[in-house]
Amino acid sequence: LGTSLASINGVNNAILVEGEPIGQVMFFGPGAGAGATASAVSSDILNLVSQLISLPESKIENSKYKIPNLDPLLASFHQQYCQLAPSEELITRFYARFLTKDQPGVIGKLGTCFGKCGVSLESVVQTGFQEKLAEIVVVTHDVTEGNFHKALDQIRNLEAVDSIPSLLRVL
Q: pLDDT, tens digit, for every residue of 94-108?
A: 999 999 999 999 999
- CATH code for position 106: 3.30.70.260
User: 163: Cβ–Cβ under 8 A, 6 or more apart, which residues?
Assistant: 98, 99
Tally of structural domains, the chain? 1
Closest among 104, 109, 158, 116 to 138, alpha carbons compared: 109
Domain that holds residue 140: 87-170
| 132-159 average pLDDT score | 96
Say if pTM beats, i.e. exceeds, 0.85: no
Element of type H or E holding 153: helix 145-156
pLDDT at site 147: 98
One-letter amino acid identity for 93? Answer: R
55: confidence class by pLDDT, cuts 50, 70, 90: very low
